[in-house]
Amino acid sequence: VHERDESKDTPAAKECFKYLNKTSRSFSAVILELHPELLMVVTLFYLVLRGLDTIEDDTSIPAKKKEPLLRNFDDVLDIDGWTFTENRPEEKDRELMLHYGCVIEEFKKIKAPYQAIIKDIAKRMGNGMADYCLKSENDEFGVNTIAEYDEYCYYVAGLVGEGLTRMFVEAKFGNPALLDRPHLHNSMGTFLQKTNIIRDVREDFYDKRIFWPKEIWSKHVDDFGDLFKPEYREQALNCSSEMVLNALNHADECLFFMAGLREQSVFNFCAIPQTMAIATLDLCFRNYDMFLRNIKITKGEACQIMTESTQNLQIACDVFRRHIHSIRKKNRPQDPNFLKISIACGKVEQFI
Ligand code: PS7
Ligand code: MN
Ligand code: MN
Ligand code: MN
Ligand code: MN
Ligand code: MN
């Protein structure tokens, strides 16, 4: 563990850590344990992307206004004291946007290569979000094809994987060969994003947002909203299991990626969210509760996973094995994707 002397933090650094804790339930813990070389760098990366997402998520901002904000969000890092006051009062990270100046102040102090990575990813993610925002304005279904679903996940999460990988390699904490395997770091982000999209389906739908691709749900129901009606219970379960199958296809690449990490705190930072994700997919798999209420893995299970995934790759793989086994046990021959799910599980087991 890397002990940190908080009394040496500048007021702006203190503020950054305050907003990190306020804006992320799950990430702040793993970020704060990072090696000192990457601690502030990844904190700032997180806060910049959280800022972008706070603009993207605010449906009260008209698309015409939102588009340039998203596309030029990287430029804001050059404007001392920049602040954004136009989020609706209920937007959960409005507070960060009001005090964004602390992010800008600390950003100027980190090494140039890290600054360049953060700006580059913010630029590309902002452009991707803007394209998607315009598209969904003209299309009630949001995501139509699986290819579009993959593209959206690439913009909002795969790119985070790329940026973090470049940081790990810059810090000499990751095998540089990871940079030549874009599929692997895209899968690291996409696996987390798809799990989030599966689990949050109900919450997102009541927020008038649909991320499940029509190409998948239309095989099971005519209207997306039918998934939440008790008379379509079986269809909803089969649809969600097809979504889990789609996400599971990234699991082996995530394990492969983690084999390329060379520093314990970076390994933990990567492994904890991934093992939480496989546990969450297991929880969602053929669990009708996800259509009725918000579901979450228990505190106890989360604690156990934290302990296990912070030892080594072998033990993190054990967590994957356990949940793959549990998914297999819940798989049903009546499910149209029974065979494909069994094969996808086999592909992960082959790695571990
Ligand atoms: C820089 C750690 C480790 C190689 C804010 C971590 C929202 C799933 O839907 O907040 O808002 O509730 O629960 C994270 C790859 C990105 C991908 C994406 C930046 C892993 C802005 C996480 C996180 C790459 C767009 C958080 C992608 O979910 O979502 C840092 C390696 C932010 C990672 C968003 C989602 C992240 C997400 P929601 P959450
Ligand atoms: Mn969240
Ligand atoms: Mn978003
Ligand atoms: Mn969000
Ligand atoms: Mn610009
Ligand atoms: Mn979500």
pLDDT in tens, 166-191: 999 999 999 999 999 999 999 999 99
Instruction: Report the alpha-carbon distance of residue 212 to residue 201 in Å, rounded.
Output: 8
Tell me the pLDDT band of 47, cut-offs 50, 70 and 90. very high
Q: Does residue 318 or residue 352 have the better pLDDT? A: 318
Q: Are 97 and 87 in contact (CB under 8 A)?
A: yes
Sequence-separated (6 or more) residues with CB below 8 Å from residue 200: 294
Q: Does residue 352 or residue 193 have the better pLDDT? A: 193
Tell me the pLDDT band of 51, cut-offs 50, 70 and 90. very high
Bridge partner list, 261: 174
pLDDT of residue 221: 98
pLDDT of residue 3: 79
Average pLDDT, the chain: 96
Looking at the CA of 193, name the nearest ligand. 1
Task: Report the nearest-CA residue for atom 39 of ligand 1.
Answer: 196
pLDDT of residue 31: 97
pLDDT tens by residue, 280-299 = 999 999 999 999 999 999 99
Scanning the chain, the segments in alpha helix (DSSP H) are 11-23, 27-32, 36-57, 63-71, 94-98, 101-107, 112-137, 146-153, 159-170, 182-199, 201-206, 214-217, 233-248, 251-258, 264-284, 299-309, 313-330, 338-351
Query: With 90 as the cut, is the pLDDT of residue 332 above it?
Result: yes
Closest listed residue to residue 181, CA positions, set 195, 193, 169, 196: 169
Q: How far is the CA of 48 from the centre of ligand 5 (A)?
A: 15
Scanning 220-310, the segments in alpha helix (DSSP H) are 233-248, 251-258, 264-284, 299-309
- Helix or strand or coil: residue 337? coil
Task: Report the nearest-CA residue for atom 23 of ligand 1.
Answer: 46
Q: Which of 20, 26, 53, 296 to mutate to test the pocket of ligand 1 (most atoms within 8 A of CB)?
A: 53
Looking at the CA of 28, name the nearest ligand. 1
pLDDT of residue 43: 98
pLDDT of residue 175: 95
Q: Which atom of ligand 1 is nearest to the CA of 46?
A: 1
Sequence-separated (6 or more) residues with CB below 8 Å from residue 147: none
pLDDT tens by residue, 75-113 = 999 999 999 999 999 999 999 999 999 999 999 999 999
pLDDT average, residue stretch 258-264: 95
So what's the ipTM on this one?
A: 0.94
Mean pLDDT is lowest, of 16-20, 118-122, 303-307, for: 303-307
Burial zone of 339 (CB within 10 Å; 0-12 exposed, 13-18 middle, 19+ buried): exposed
Sequence-separated (6 or more) residues with CB below 8 Å from residue 5: none
pLDDT of residue 126: 98
The first and second tokens of residue 138, run together, are 């003209």
pLDDT tens by residue, 116-144 = 999 999 999 999 999 999 988 877 667 99
pTM, to two decimals: 0.96
Provide, rounded to the nearest whole percent, the portion of the chain with pLDDT above 90.
93
pLDDT average, residue stretch 13-24: 97
Of 149, 173, 232, 269, which is the active-site residue? 269
Q: Is 233 a catalytic residue?
A: no
Within 6 A (CB) of ligand 1 lie 27, 42, 45-46, 49-50, 53, 156-157, 160-161, 164-165, 185, 188-189, 192-193, 196, 270, 273
pLDDT average, residue stretch 145-149: 97
Q: Is 73 a catalytic residue?
A: no
Q: How far is the CA of 84 from the centre of ligand 6 (A)?
A: 22
Q: How far is the CA of 52 from the centre of ligand 5 (A)?
A: 14
Q: Are 262 and 175 in contact (CB under 8 A)?
A: yes
Residue matched to tokens 């379509």: 232
pLDDT of residue 25: 82
Q: Which atom of ligand 1 is nearest to the CA of 30?
A: 2
Q: Which atom of ligand 1 is nearest to the CA of 185?
A: 4
Q: Are 156 and 104 in contact (CB under 8 A)?
A: no
The first and second tokens of residue 233, run together, are 């219970």
